[in-house]
Amino acid sequence: MLSKSKKELIVDISVGLILGLVIITALFYRNEVLDFFRQNKNPKPTTEIIVEKKHKAITKFGFDTSQYVFEEGRVKNNEILGSILYWQDIPYSIIDKLVQKSKDVFNVRQIRANKKITFVRKDTCGELQSLIYEPNDLSYIVFNLADSIYVKRVFRPIDTKIEFATGEVHTSLWNSMKDNNLSISLIDKMEDALSSEVDFYHAQKGDQYKLLFERKYIDDKPIAIGKLLGAYYYNNSPKYAFYFEADDYKGYYNYKGQATKKAFLRAPVRFSRISSGFSTRRFHPILHRVKAHYGTDYAAPYGTPILAVAAGTIIRKGYGKGNGNFITIRHDKTYTTTYLHMQRFAKSSKKGAHVTQGQVIGYVGSTGLATGPHVCFRMKKNGRPINHLRENFPSPEPLPDSVLTKFYVVRDSILTLMKSLDYLSDDTFHQESFVLKDENDSNRIVKP
């Protein structure tokens, strides 16, 4: 057995080795050890950060849909603002304040039956916060009752898209466009653009047309037709009209830059038909005898607007036993025109009044000696009756060289888009919306 002194020596050596190893380890990992003690001396609390994702509020008439309820309805017959609000328990003093506040914003007497109204509340049983009246698709009126009393008109944001439409005539141009759900407004614009280039009264089967136009949208709902930017019509030969606006020039121009609207329109009514032409010998359907017919009859439904074919001054307005209600317009020292058998006159049609080309002067009827609704249109040149369809009116002057370059850029851009559509046949119709308007340049057409 080992002596006691030897055992103590072995223990001392072992303890020394262990302490040495500890010291060496501590020196080697001193930085980590110091960090450990520092962290435990002043421990920091653990913090959990939660980021809440905010969702964009959905609004209606400017009110947060999550905070308000909306009760929709329509104005009833004989209802006015006062009666609408009275049945919502709004005192007369508040109603009167709203009426006073609305004077410079909206005439409350213009509230019409069957128009949309919306009651806005905090909850279904709460007090009325606001009344919304929608006079049209473009705007709405806010009658605010909460916090402060005020009235304001809000115009809805409008998106403008450029669309293509093309089709082919099978029976008549009118039927073709109506069958293809093209609006009357667009039909009128096409006739305006091409009135001096195309004889629409002799449209034939197989005629083709292409239109490039603006359509206005609110919340993806079409609400109106904007400008007709380009029109193409093929009837034995191609005819074009391009909308151009620059400097002092504005309107439709043909391929060469000549204004398509001449001094005189070809007819005083749109998309009618010629029921009787100019003749020195015609059998009168009512008098039953042959007599001269120094005019051209355009048959159209009762109430169809009658247009002044050129600017001028009304020199005669009245009623004749044979002519019925009629108006005569002097255009210059050479030409006068007369419009017979009107149902009624336009309010602005007064003797001595100046009229512009295309202005409505009356409405188609059958007053006087007439077998049905039509307008008998007569033209005189230096006091002598003439057939206006055979008259060679002077062509308008082309655009000056200073703006022709700009016109060519617009023309070629529109033409490129129109040519991208193939001609159609049979009963096919094509309408496409894929071109957007460049807001920085109203005459530039760009592809998306």
Residue-wise pLDDT tens digits, 297-340: 898 889 999 999 988 999 999 998 888 999 999 998 999 999 99
What is the domain-level CATH number for residue 365? 2.70.70.10
Is residue 353 located within the same domain as residue 373? yes
Beta pairing, strands 279-283 & 354-355: unpaired
What pLDDT is stored for residue 439 in this prediction?
Answer: 39
Whether residue 284 has pLDDT greater than 60: no
Domains contained in the chain, number = 3
pLDDT band (50, 70, 90) for residue 15: low
The predicted-structure confidence for 264-282, as pLDDT tens digits, reads as follows 888 888 766 676 766 655 5
209, 231 Cβ separation under 8 angstroms: yes
Distance of CA 335 to the CA centre of its chain: 37
Report whether 165 contacts 210 (CB < 8 A). yes
Decide if 30 is inside a domain. Answer: no
Q: Are both 140 and 215 inside the same structural domain?
A: no
**283 plus 386 within the same structural domain:** yes
Q: What is the pLDDT of residue 437?
A: 40
Using the 3D structure, point to which of 117, 138, 155 is the last residue of a domain. Answer: 155
Q: Which residues of 257-287 are buried (b: 16+ CB within 10 A; e: fewer)?
A: bbbbbbbbbbbbbbbbebebebeeebeeeee
- Residue at 87 is within a domain: yes
Specify the range with the lowest mean pLDDT, choosing from 39-43, 162-166, 360-364, 428-432: 428-432
Reference 295, options 307, 284, 311, 310; nearest CA is 284
For the chain, give the number of residues.
Answer: 448
Global pTM exceeds 0.75: no
Shared domain for 406 and 257, answered yes or no, is yes
Least confident of 49-58, 265-274, 285-294, 428-437: 428-437
What type of residue is 135? P
Instruction: Establish if 353 belongs to a structural domain.
Output: yes
Residue for token digits 């082309």? 398
Q: Do 379 and 287 fall into the same domain?
A: yes
Which of the four pLDDT bands, split at 50, 70 and 90, describes residue 53?
Answer: low
If asked whether residues 140 and 167 sit together in one domain, one would say: no
Same domain, yes or no: 281 and 385: yes
Co-location of 143 and 163 in the same domain: no
**pLDDT in the model for residue 173:** 78
Q: Are residues 258 and 338 in the same domain?
A: no
Summarize pLDDT for 376-413 with one digit per residue, the tens: 999 999 999 998 888 877 777 778 888 999 999 999 99
Beta-bridged to residue 363, according to DSSP, are 305, 344
Is residue 222 located within the same domain as residue 249? yes
- The answer to the question of residue 1 being in a domain is no
**Residue 78 within any structural domain of the chain:** yes
**Residue that is last in its domain, among 155, 182, 213:** 155
Residue at 352 is within a domain: yes
The answer to which of 103-107, 231-235, 368-372 has the lowest mean pLDDT is: 368-372
Which structural domain, as residue segments, surrounds residue 327? 273-390
Q: Over range 35-54, report the average pLDDT.
A: 50
Question: In this structure, is residue 48 part of a structural domain?
Answer: no
Q: H or E segment at 120?
A: strand 116-121
Tell me the CATH number at 235: 3.10.450.350
Looking at the chain, the whole-number percentage of residues with pLDDT higher than 70 is 77
| Residue 293 φ then ψ, to 5° | -125, 95
pLDDT value at 103 more than 80: yes
Q: Are residues 223 and 127 in the same domain?
A: no
Q: What confidence category does residue 71 fall into, taking pLDDT thresholds of 50, 70 and 90?
A: very high
Secondary structure string (H, E, C) spanning 7-54: HHHHHHHHHHHHHHHHHHHHHHCHHHHHHHHHHHHCCCCCCCCCCCCC
Does residue 7 form part of some domain? no
Give Rg (Cα) of the chain: 40
- Look at residue 214 in the predicted model and tell me its pLDDT: 92
383 with 301, same domain?
Answer: yes
Q: How confident is the model at residue 204 (pLDDT cuts 50, 70, 90)?
A: confident
Buried b (16+ CB within 10 A) or exposed e, 68-104: beeeeeebeeebebeebbeeeebeeeebeebbebbee
Calculate the CA dihedral of residues 257, 208, 228, 405 and round it to 10 degrees: -20
Domain boundary among 155, 171, 200: 155
